[in-house]
Amino acid sequence: MIEGWVLLENTGGLYSTTVGESIEGLERMIVELRSAVRHAAMAGDRAQARTLRAELRRAEAAWDDALAELEESAELGEPAVRAPERTRPKPAAPLLPMREQVHHVLTLLTVPAAPRLIVAVHDAFFSGEMISARLTSLRRDEERSYRSAPNARPYYLCPALTADLLAPARGLLSVSTWAMAGRIVGPLSPRVHYLTSAMQVADYITRLDDPRPAAARLLWRFAANIPGAAEGGVRPESVAKAARAELVIHEEADLYDREASAERAARLSPVVQLFGSRLDVVRDKEETG
């Protein structure tokens, strides 16, 4: 367990100084917990990961409470609890870099996703503000980084690739560490990805002690487009069950198309495998000979 978590069990210790100082401590703790959760998940220690996620949610809730108290104190003009000007937190400031926030969302969904869905999932489950407009330039930044220093990072955010041309799929982000077939989009993939995302979101909600209202709204949005998902009320279990029932109809054919394209992609250069062809790269040797 992260050292210092006892402060969250007894928030009086945190608030004995100033609210601004408590927020700074909570922010540091949240960053440490996020890292610990990721390491536990990578190590396959599910029990530890669940425990750390619960602690992370409590830390985030405590951060929200501290921020609300800071705002209330500022409105009442109480300097005793107001943070110094140089350390006053910005409510909209993200706790992690944009690429890490996006990586967390895509890891949760396990399939390529559009910026609108990425932002919605982030707002439902994670702290900090994500600006959709910044996602547009993120993929280009990742490609420039890879071209300047290949494989210097543990992962890259890259576009999903179309099954026919192996070109960048417009507006869909994936993760470089996924299997090639998992980053390809075929004719059936949009529906398969939608159903898979619904199942992942529903499963994540079931593991939360107190889901945010944004999480419930996101679940409703998925349920509205899945037959049978809202029967008897929208619940994570009913949404996941309905999504799975339809997914079995499409997933085999979709996987066949994507794996066939992945075999062709294996002959391309590493940079094209990650960021796609420019339409004139994928040609038969007979055409170029």
pLDDT digits (tens, 9 = 90+) for 94-149: 567 899 999 999 999 999 999 999 999 999 999 888 888 788 889 899 999 999 99
- From 87, 122, 150, the end of a domain falls on 87
* First CA to last CA distance, the chain: 62
Question: How far, in Å, CA of 248 to CA of 157, rounded?
Answer: 28
Whether 74 and 139 share a structural domain: no
Q: Which of 43, 66, 87 is the last residue of a domain?
A: 87
| Residues 111 and 214 placed together within one structural domain of the fold | yes
Assess whether 102 and 77 both reside in one domain. Answer: no
Taking 50 as the pLDDT cut, the residues of the chain under it are 1-18, 75, 78-92, 281-289
Are 242 and 153 members of one domain?
A: yes
Residues 23 and 134 in one domain: no
**Dihedral sign of CA atoms 68, 74, 78, 80 in order:** positive
In a domain, 92, yes or no: no
Q: Enter the DSSP assignment of 84.
A: P
34 domain-assigned: yes
Partners of residue 158 on adjacent β-strands: 174
On whether the pTM is more than 0.75, the answer is no
Predicted confidence at residue 15, as pLDDT, reads 33
- Please tell me whether residues 72 and 116 are part of one structural domain: no
Answer whether 153's CB lies under 8 Å from 176's CB.
no
Contact 146, 271 (CB under 8 A): yes
- The strand pairing partners of 162, in sequence order, are 185
124-128 contacts, C-beta under 8 A, 24 or more apart: 124/201, 124/211, 124/212, 124/214, 124/215, 124/217, 124/218, 125/204, 125/208, 125/212, 125/215, 126/101, 127/30, 127/60, 127/63, 127/94, 127/95, 128/92, 128/93, 128/94, 128/95, 128/96, 128/101
| Residue 170 is assigned to a structural domain of this protein | yes
Torsion of CA 134, 135, 138, 143, to 10 degrees: -150
pLDDT for 2: 41
Residue at a domain's end among 87, 113, 148: 87
What pLDDT is recorded for position 135? 86
Residues 269, 147 contacting (CB under 8 angstroms): no
- Domain shared by 60 and 182, yes or no: no
Instruction: Tell me how many domains the chain contains.
Output: 2
Q: Which domain holds residue 25?
A: 6-87
Looking at the structure, tell me whether residues 20 and 137 fall in a common domain: no
pLDDT at 40: 75
* Residues sharing a CB contact under 8 Å with residue 42, sequence separation 6 or more, in sequence order: none
Residue 1: inside a domain, yes or no? no
Q: Is residue 11 domain-shared with residue 148, that is, in the same domain?
A: no
31 three-class SS: helix
In a domain, 251, yes or no: yes
105 and 142 together in one domain: yes
